[in-house]
Structures are given as C-alpha cells and as structure tokens.
Structure 1
Amino acid sequence: MTEQLEAMPTDWQRALAIVAHPDDLEYGTAAAIAGWTDERREVSYLLVTRGEAGIDTMDPDKAGPLREKEQRASAAVVGVTSVEFLSHPDGAIEYGPALRKDLAAAIRRHRPELVLTINHHDTWGGNAWNTPDHRAVGRAVLDAAADAGNRWIFPELAAGGLAPWDGVRWVAVAGSPRPTHAVAVSGGVERAIRSLLEHRTYIEALTEEEPESYCRTFIEQMTSHDSARFGDRPCIGFELFPR
C-alpha cells in the first residue's frame, strides 16, 4: 500500500484503551500514549483479562497477579495511572452481550471521546492468524462504543447509576492490517521501550533474547512499519472508525 496515512484527530481530551491482555498496549501503542499524556490528555486502561494463561512455566494463580503488577508499572512509564481489570478468562474470552455490557459500562464510567483497542481482524495481514481473545475484544469494543450511548441496550446500567454516554467520537484500532491514520511518536519511543520492558517476567518466558534488546528491536520495528506512509517519521498506525 502506498496511500499516505492521515494524522490522528487531536481535538479530544479523554481516551480509554481497552485490550485483552497485559502487554497488548506495550507492543507499539504505548509510544503514542506517551505523547498524548505529555500533552496532558487523560488516558485510562481497561484490561479484559489478567493474562494468567500467558506464561507456560507459571501457574495461572501466580501469573495473573504478577502480570497485573507488571501492567500497572508499565502504564506508569507512559503517564497512565488508571488501570482496571475485568477478570474474563485469559484465552477463552467470549464475544457476546456479557462482554459488550462490561465494556459499555466502562465507557460510561470513563466517558472517553476516543476509544483505543488492538486488531480485531482475523489476521495481522497475510496468513498471520490473530488470537481469539484479540478478535473478540476488538469487535466487542467497536460494538460497545455504540451500546454505551443507547439507553435501551443494557438498561440495568442506567438503573445502577451509569447514564448513557454517546460521546465516543472515534474507535482507533492499533495493529490493524488496514491502517488509515497515524501518530508521530519520536518523543515516545524510549518510554515505549521501557514500558514494554516492565513486562520482564513475561518476556523472559517468551524469548531467549536479552529483554532490553528484544524490546528495543520490536518497538523500533513497530514505529518504522508505517513511516514511509507518514512522512518518513516514526509513527504508530491506527485504523480509525469515526462515530
């Protein structure tokens, strides 16, 4: 693809990032988030699981709390202090009304203008198959952005004090094989590397490569992937869905 990417909108103040697992945001998106928090924008994280099934050599009862701790430290590196977990089962998230309701409730609580998630498509491009958790959460996020504003969907939320929020203006999908927009991230690359490195226990179980080298290589690859389509600047691409 040779089409140039458009710049992401900047006329917003609050964002909510919703992903399946600890570390999902750190594989690139955190570089954009670092820049946004520098601009004094509010960014909150919502993790659908605690990533308890992500470390083959560690029992889920131990892995879940550890990965939650690493996620909170990782978020702090890029200026995010609001980090919530829903405790859906890692690896077995079910798309459906229950998930949509949980996400709509979170959107009503946080009242974001921008909602972030990661790739909901079947693949990452080509034949690199995406995981069921990513697909389920990404699609539920796109639906919940509308559910949050409809008083007749999940009316029990309003009865419980969560008034409808129809203020979501965009859902931005990171890691999509079909990016439409991008954010320049030259100022956030080093913090993105350090943010990913906070997931040290997970990374050490994932690869035999030295963690610092692994994180730097991955983030530099991610921030250069779409640069030719964005003025040859380090950037993070998003597939943007206006609402």
Structure 2
Amino acid sequence: MKRKTEEKEMETAASTSSSRDDGSGSGYEVFLSFRGPDTRLTMADCLYNGLIRAGIRAFKDNEELRFGEEIKGGLLQAINDSRIYVPIFSKDYASSKWCLLELAHIVELARANDEKVILPIFYDVDADDVKLKTKLYWEALRKHKSEYGKDLAKKWKKALREVARIRGRNLKDHGLYKLTNLMVEEVSNLLWTRQTDMSNHLVEIKDRMDHIMKLLDVGAFDVRFIVIHGMGGIGKTTLAEA
C-alpha cells in the first residue's frame, strides 16, 4: 500500500507538470538531489549558494520537512519544472527512499525531454558504487526491496545505473571550492546556451551576448552588474531580454 501511494504521488506530479512544461514553469531552473546529513553543510550548501549568486534559480530540498502532501507536492513540482538536475551521490544517498524516488522521477523526465540534463556529482563515492558494482549501495537496495517490494527496488537500481553512466564530476578530483566553481560554470553555460538558441538569428546579437557573458564571469562568487545604455533603436532591450 505504501509503495502504491508513493508511485501515485509521482504520477500525479508528473501529470500536473505536463500541462505546465511549456517554457513558463514555476521559476526553478536547477534541482539539487542530495542526502541531507551527508552533504547539506558542504557540497549541497556551497553549490546552492554558488548558483544563487550566479543568478540561477535553484531548488535545495529540506529533507527533514518532507511531511504531508503539501511539502511533497511542492518538492515534486520543483523537480518537474527544473531544466537541470544535480544528484549529489554520497555514502548514504541510496539509504534514503526519498533520494531514490527523486532520482527515478528525474530519470523519467530526462528520458521524455531531451532539454532536461542530469549532471551527477560523486561526493565521497565513485561511479562504480552508484552502478552497484560494490557493496556500498547494494546493501541499501536490498533493504529497500524487503520494505518496498522488488518492483520499486528494480526501478531504483535502473535509475542509479543509468545516471552513473553519465560523465559526472568527482569531489576527489577537484576539491570542494574548485568543484563548486566548475559546476556553477557548467550549469550557467547550459542555461545560457538554451536561452540564446532563440536569439542567435538576430543580427550581431550573438557576439554582443558572448562579450557580456565574459564580463559577467558567471562562475565567480562575487556580485556583478551590467548597465546597458545608448541611443534609441540600437537593440538595448533586445540584448537585455536575450
């Protein structure tokens, strides 16, 4: 009964988002999926703040507040509306049914929409752990199978393996500060590319936008402002809206 209820919540949220996935959305661009006790005060917090400073609308879930239908609905809506997903795989990520529910739903959305991108981070684990080639996640999935049934456990295993095949970034290769900067830059570039696809046909607008992006240095941690001024009719509004 518990498994059916959770799956129904996912289906309801998905159907709700399908009518809204027309580019308008609720405002979220990036969804961070993480195990709170593992990474909230480190990777998740640093990345979230870095994204916000770069002007990116990111959603950082508070795992401890997942009680009641309203919180669940808002959480799932944020997943549905986001364009980029950053699962932060840590040692106890697979121990959380909520993390796995999020991940499975994210994978389904990414399969159905090529414009949605998954950028995994391997915090204190390796890709082989997430692919279930080691005991680290395997034991957690075994317990989930016993509690929630083999069908849901199978779905979670498939989602883990699928995301682990995506080329991600490993904390041990970069360190926290550098990894945060790299992720903010990558997310910014992906969002910028998507936002400018519609603008590239405008005369000379692409070169001007590229110049502005260099000035903004979106991966930096400080706050920057751009003032666009000039005589009327030269494309100030078009450039700002692009």
Question: How does the TM-score come out when normalised to structure 2?
Answer: 0.30
RCO higher in structure (CA 8 A, sep ≥6): 1
Structure with the higher helix share, 1 or 2: 2
Structure index of larger Rg: 2
Higher strand share: 1
Q: TM-score, normalised by structure 1?
A: 0.30
